[in-house]
Amino acid sequence: MIRNDEIDYRIIGEEMQYVEIELDPGESAVAEAGAFMMMDDAIQMQTIFGDGSTQQGGGLMGKLFSAGKRLLVGESLFMTAFTNVGSGKRRVSFASPYPGKIIPLDLARLGNAVICQKDAFLAAAKGVSINIEFQRKLGTGLFGGEGFIMERLEGDGMAFMHAGGHVFERELQPGEIIKIDTGCLVGYTLGVDFDIQFIGGIRNKLFGGEGFFFATLQGPGKVWIQTLPVSRLASRILNFATGPRREEGSILGGLGNLLDGDGY
Protein backbone atom coordinates (compact mmCIF):
# COMPACT_ATOMS: atom_id res chain seq x y z
CA MET A 1 0.00 0.00 0.00
CA ILE A 2 1.34 3.44 -0.97
CA ARG A 3 1.31 5.85 1.96
CA ASN A 4 0.97 9.61 1.73
CA ASP A 5 3.94 11.77 2.69
CA GLU A 6 4.18 12.31 6.46
CA ILE A 7 4.41 16.01 7.25
CA ASP A 8 4.73 18.09 10.40
CA TYR A 9 2.83 21.35 10.71
CA ARG A 10 1.73 24.22 12.92
CA ILE A 11 -1.21 26.61 12.51
CA ILE A 12 -0.45 30.27 13.23
CA GLY A 13 -2.81 33.18 13.83
CA GLU A 14 -6.35 33.69 15.07
CA GLU A 15 -8.82 35.29 12.63
CA MET A 16 -6.62 35.13 9.51
CA GLN A 17 -4.63 31.95 9.94
CA TYR A 18 -1.94 30.24 7.95
CA VAL A 19 -0.52 26.73 8.17
CA GLU A 20 3.23 26.15 8.17
CA ILE A 21 4.22 22.70 6.88
CA GLU A 22 7.65 21.23 7.58
CA LEU A 23 9.01 18.97 4.87
CA ASP A 24 11.82 16.46 5.22
CA PRO A 25 14.13 15.96 2.20
CA GLY A 26 12.12 14.49 -0.64
CA GLU A 27 8.72 15.15 0.98
CA SER A 28 6.00 17.08 -0.84
CA ALA A 29 2.82 18.98 -0.06
CA VAL A 30 0.10 20.05 -2.49
CA ALA A 31 -2.09 23.14 -2.27
CA GLU A 32 -4.73 25.09 -4.08
CA ALA A 33 -3.52 27.60 -6.65
CA GLY A 34 -3.36 30.92 -4.84
CA ALA A 35 -3.02 29.47 -1.32
CA PHE A 36 0.79 29.83 -1.22
CA MET A 37 2.19 32.42 1.20
CA MET A 38 5.93 31.78 1.69
CA MET A 39 8.59 29.06 1.64
CA ASP A 40 12.20 28.39 2.49
CA ASP A 41 14.95 28.08 -0.07
CA ALA A 42 15.46 24.61 -1.62
CA ILE A 43 11.72 24.00 -1.99
CA GLN A 44 10.75 23.39 -5.60
CA MET A 45 7.35 24.38 -6.98
CA GLN A 46 5.62 22.44 -9.73
CA THR A 47 2.18 23.06 -11.24
CA ILE A 48 0.26 19.80 -11.72
CA PHE A 49 -3.08 18.61 -13.06
CA GLY A 50 -5.49 17.19 -10.53
CA ASP A 51 -4.44 16.39 -6.99
CA GLY A 52 -1.15 14.60 -7.62
CA SER A 53 -2.34 11.38 -6.00
CA THR A 54 -1.81 7.90 -7.40
CA GLN A 55 -5.60 7.55 -7.84
CA GLN A 56 -5.64 9.94 -10.80
CA GLY A 57 -3.81 7.45 -13.00
CA GLY A 58 -0.52 7.66 -14.77
CA GLY A 59 -1.68 8.52 -18.29
CA LEU A 60 -2.89 11.75 -19.84
CA MET A 61 -6.56 10.70 -19.69
CA GLY A 62 -6.26 9.87 -16.00
CA LYS A 63 -4.80 13.28 -15.26
CA LEU A 64 -7.46 15.05 -17.33
CA PHE A 65 -10.22 13.11 -15.57
CA SER A 66 -8.79 14.02 -12.16
CA ALA A 67 -8.58 17.68 -13.15
CA GLY A 68 -12.14 17.57 -14.46
CA LYS A 69 -13.38 16.21 -11.14
CA ARG A 70 -11.80 19.18 -9.38
CA LEU A 71 -13.70 21.59 -11.61
CA LEU A 72 -16.97 19.92 -10.61
CA VAL A 73 -16.29 20.48 -6.90
CA GLY A 74 -15.49 24.14 -7.43
CA GLU A 75 -11.70 23.92 -7.25
CA SER A 76 -9.21 25.22 -9.81
CA LEU A 77 -7.98 23.09 -12.71
CA PHE A 78 -4.38 23.14 -11.47
CA MET A 79 -2.71 22.51 -8.15
CA THR A 80 0.83 23.27 -7.01
CA ALA A 81 3.21 20.69 -5.53
CA PHE A 82 5.98 21.88 -3.18
CA THR A 83 8.90 19.48 -2.80
CA ASN A 84 11.90 19.76 -0.51
CA VAL A 85 14.90 19.12 -2.78
CA GLY A 86 17.44 20.19 -0.14
CA SER A 87 19.36 18.17 2.42
CA GLY A 88 17.64 19.44 5.59
CA LYS A 89 14.16 20.29 6.81
CA ARG A 90 12.38 23.11 4.97
CA ARG A 91 9.08 24.95 5.57
CA VAL A 92 6.30 26.13 3.28
CA SER A 93 3.24 28.12 4.40
CA PHE A 94 -0.30 28.46 3.05
CA ALA A 95 -2.78 31.20 4.03
CA SER A 96 -6.54 31.08 4.55
CA PRO A 97 -8.56 32.94 1.86
CA TYR A 98 -10.94 34.77 4.24
CA PRO A 99 -11.48 35.18 8.02
CA GLY A 100 -11.99 31.82 9.67
CA LYS A 101 -10.16 28.75 10.89
CA ILE A 102 -7.89 26.13 9.37
CA ILE A 103 -8.86 22.59 10.39
CA PRO A 104 -6.13 19.92 10.44
CA LEU A 105 -7.35 16.45 9.43
CA ASP A 106 -5.31 13.36 10.19
CA LEU A 107 -7.08 11.13 7.68
CA ALA A 108 -5.47 7.97 9.04
CA ARG A 109 -7.38 8.56 12.30
CA LEU A 110 -10.61 9.57 10.59
CA GLY A 111 -11.39 6.44 8.62
CA ASN A 112 -9.14 7.56 5.73
CA ALA A 113 -11.79 9.91 4.32
CA VAL A 114 -13.68 13.12 5.14
CA ILE A 115 -16.60 14.61 3.19
CA CYS A 116 -16.49 18.42 3.08
CA GLN A 117 -18.11 21.41 1.45
CA LYS A 118 -16.92 22.66 -1.92
CA ASP A 119 -13.94 25.04 -1.78
CA ALA A 120 -13.01 23.82 1.72
CA PHE A 121 -9.70 22.19 0.75
CA LEU A 122 -6.57 24.27 1.40
CA ALA A 123 -3.52 21.95 1.36
CA ALA A 124 -2.44 18.38 2.06
CA ALA A 125 0.42 15.92 2.06
CA LYS A 126 1.14 14.68 -1.42
CA GLY A 127 -0.84 11.52 -2.05
CA VAL A 128 -4.12 12.71 -0.55
CA SER A 129 -6.78 12.55 -3.26
CA ILE A 130 -9.70 14.93 -3.80
CA ASN A 131 -12.67 13.04 -5.21
CA ILE A 132 -16.31 13.78 -5.96
CA GLU A 133 -18.92 12.83 -3.38
CA PHE A 134 -22.41 12.72 -4.91
CA GLN A 135 -25.40 13.23 -2.64
CA ARG A 136 -27.60 10.26 -3.47
CA LYS A 137 -30.71 11.59 -1.75
CA LEU A 138 -32.73 13.98 -3.92
CA GLY A 139 -33.63 16.34 -1.09
CA THR A 140 -30.06 16.57 0.12
CA GLY A 141 -28.79 17.39 -3.34
CA LEU A 142 -31.45 20.00 -4.11
CA PHE A 143 -31.65 21.80 -0.78
CA GLY A 144 -28.47 20.91 1.10
CA GLY A 145 -26.73 24.19 0.45
CA GLU A 146 -23.84 22.40 -1.28
CA GLY A 147 -25.79 20.83 -4.16
CA PHE A 148 -25.35 17.26 -5.38
CA ILE A 149 -21.56 17.38 -5.36
CA MET A 150 -19.26 17.73 -2.36
CA GLU A 151 -15.56 17.01 -1.85
CA ARG A 152 -14.12 13.74 -0.57
CA LEU A 153 -10.62 14.03 0.89
CA GLU A 154 -9.16 10.54 0.95
CA GLY A 155 -5.86 9.00 2.03
CA ASP A 156 -3.79 8.33 5.15
CA GLY A 157 -1.93 11.65 5.45
CA MET A 158 -2.63 15.15 6.71
CA ALA A 159 -5.09 17.44 4.96
CA PHE A 160 -6.23 20.96 5.85
CA MET A 161 -9.67 22.47 5.40
CA HIS A 162 -10.65 26.11 5.83
CA ALA A 163 -14.04 27.50 6.90
CA GLY A 164 -15.48 30.84 7.98
CA GLY A 165 -15.77 32.31 11.46
CA HIS A 166 -15.15 29.90 14.33
CA VAL A 167 -15.09 26.18 13.55
CA PHE A 168 -15.77 23.52 16.14
CA GLU A 169 -15.80 19.75 16.08
CA ARG A 170 -18.73 17.68 17.34
CA GLU A 171 -18.43 13.97 18.10
CA LEU A 172 -21.76 12.21 17.48
CA GLN A 173 -22.55 8.97 19.26
CA PRO A 174 -24.39 6.13 17.45
CA GLY A 175 -27.94 7.30 16.74
CA GLU A 176 -27.31 10.84 18.05
CA ILE A 177 -28.82 13.52 15.81
CA ILE A 178 -28.08 17.23 15.47
CA LYS A 179 -29.83 19.77 13.24
CA ILE A 180 -27.90 22.72 11.82
CA ASP A 181 -28.22 25.42 9.19
CA THR A 182 -27.31 23.90 5.82
CA GLY A 183 -24.61 26.50 5.14
CA CYS A 184 -22.88 25.93 8.49
CA LEU A 185 -21.87 22.34 7.69
CA VAL A 186 -18.15 22.14 6.87
CA GLY A 187 -17.52 18.39 6.81
CA TYR A 188 -18.14 14.98 8.37
CA THR A 189 -16.65 11.50 8.51
CA LEU A 190 -18.01 8.56 6.54
CA GLY A 191 -20.05 7.09 9.41
CA VAL A 192 -22.32 10.14 9.63
CA ASP A 193 -25.67 10.07 7.83
CA PHE A 194 -26.37 13.45 6.20
CA ASP A 195 -29.92 14.42 5.21
CA ILE A 196 -32.10 17.51 4.75
CA GLN A 197 -35.27 18.17 6.74
CA PHE A 198 -38.09 20.50 5.72
CA ILE A 199 -39.04 23.17 8.26
CA GLY A 200 -42.76 22.94 8.94
CA GLY A 201 -45.07 25.83 9.72
CA ILE A 202 -45.80 28.79 7.46
CA ARG A 203 -44.59 31.31 10.06
CA ASN A 204 -41.25 29.54 10.39
CA LYS A 205 -40.80 29.61 6.64
CA LEU A 206 -41.89 33.20 6.04
CA PHE A 207 -40.64 34.99 9.13
CA GLY A 208 -38.05 32.73 10.76
CA GLY A 209 -35.21 34.10 8.66
CA GLU A 210 -33.47 30.71 8.58
CA GLY A 211 -34.68 29.34 5.24
CA PHE A 212 -36.94 26.40 4.46
CA PHE A 213 -34.56 23.53 5.27
CA PHE A 214 -31.92 22.48 7.77
CA ALA A 215 -29.38 19.68 7.78
CA THR A 216 -29.77 16.64 10.01
CA LEU A 217 -26.69 14.60 10.84
CA GLN A 218 -26.86 11.27 12.62
CA GLY A 219 -23.89 9.55 14.22
CA PRO A 220 -21.62 7.85 14.77
CA GLY A 221 -18.82 10.10 13.60
CA LYS A 222 -17.29 13.56 13.67
CA VAL A 223 -18.89 16.72 12.30
CA TRP A 224 -17.24 20.11 11.72
CA ILE A 225 -19.47 23.20 11.92
CA GLN A 226 -18.68 26.82 10.99
CA THR A 227 -20.26 29.90 12.52
CA LEU A 228 -19.91 32.14 9.45
CA PRO A 229 -20.42 30.60 5.97
CA VAL A 230 -18.68 32.70 3.33
CA SER A 231 -21.98 32.97 1.42
CA ARG A 232 -23.61 34.60 4.45
CA LEU A 233 -20.69 36.99 4.86
CA ALA A 234 -20.80 37.94 1.18
CA SER A 235 -24.57 38.49 1.34
CA ARG A 236 -24.26 40.86 4.31
CA ILE A 237 -21.49 42.84 2.63
CA LEU A 238 -23.50 43.09 -0.59
CA ASN A 239 -26.62 44.23 1.27
CA PHE A 240 -24.62 46.86 3.15
CA ALA A 241 -22.99 48.14 -0.01
CA THR A 242 -26.08 48.27 -2.23
CA GLY A 243 -29.12 48.41 0.05
CA PRO A 244 -30.63 51.26 2.08
CA ARG A 245 -28.76 51.96 5.30
CA ARG A 246 -30.45 51.38 8.62
CA GLU A 247 -30.29 54.58 10.62
CA GLU A 248 -30.63 54.99 14.37
CA GLY A 249 -32.90 58.01 13.76
CA SER A 250 -33.03 60.91 11.38
CA ILE A 251 -30.69 63.10 13.46
CA LEU A 252 -28.39 60.46 14.94
CA GLY A 253 -28.26 58.59 11.68
CA GLY A 254 -27.22 61.69 9.77
CA LEU A 255 -24.59 62.55 12.36
CA GLY A 256 -23.29 58.99 12.20
CA ASN A 257 -22.93 59.19 8.43
CA LEU A 258 -21.06 62.47 8.71
CA LEU A 259 -18.73 61.06 11.35
CA ASP A 260 -18.13 58.03 9.14
CA GLY A 261 -17.14 60.34 6.31
CA ASP A 262 -20.35 59.76 4.32
CA GLY A 263 -21.69 63.10 3.19
CA TYR A 264 -24.97 63.81 1.48
In a domain, 75, yes or no: yes
In a domain, 31, yes or no: yes
C-alpha span between 6 and 212 (Å, rounded): 44
In a domain, 260, yes or no: no
Domain that residue 118 falls in: 8-244
Number of C-alpha atoms within 13 angstroms, CB side, residue 168? 6
Is residue 21 within 8 Å of residue 93, measured between CB atoms?
yes
Amino acid at 220: P
In a domain, 46, yes or no: yes
Q: Write out the H or E segment, with its range, that includes residue 214.
A: strand 213-218
In a domain, 2, yes or no: no
Is residue 210 within 8 Å of residue 145, measured between CB atoms?
no
Whether the bond into 220 is cis, omega within 30 of 0: yes
Total domain count for the chain?
1
Please state whether 147 falls in left (phi above 0), alpha (psi between -120 and 50) or beta: left
Centroid of chain to Cα 144: 16
In a domain, 22, yes or no: yes
| DSSP secondary structure, 148-187, as one string | SEEEEEESSSEEEEEEES-EEEEEEPTT-EEEEEGGGEEE
Residue 10 to residues 77, 104, 160, Cα–Cα distance (Å)? 27, 9, 11
In a domain, 66, yes or no: yes
* pLDDT tens for the chain, residues 1 to 264: 456 777 899 999 988 899 999 999 999 999 987 899 999 999 999 988 766 676 555 555 555 665 566 566 555 667 899 999 999 999 999 998 888 999 999 999 999 999 998 788 899 999 898 777 765 554 444 444 444 478 889 999 999 999 999 999 999 999 999 998 888 999 999 999 988 777 665 454 454 444 567 888 999 999 999 998 877 777 777 777 776 655 444 444 544 454 444 544
Burial class (CB in 10 A: 0-12, 13-18, 19+), 102: buried
Is residue 150 within 8 Å of residue 117, measured between CB atoms?
yes
* Strand blocks (E) in 57-148: 78-84, 90-95, 100-106, 113-116, 121-125, 129-134
State pLDDT tens for residues 152-172.
899 999 999 999 999 999 999
C-alpha span between 32 and 153 (Å, rounded): 13
In CATH, what number is assigned to the domain containing residue 90? 3.60.160.10
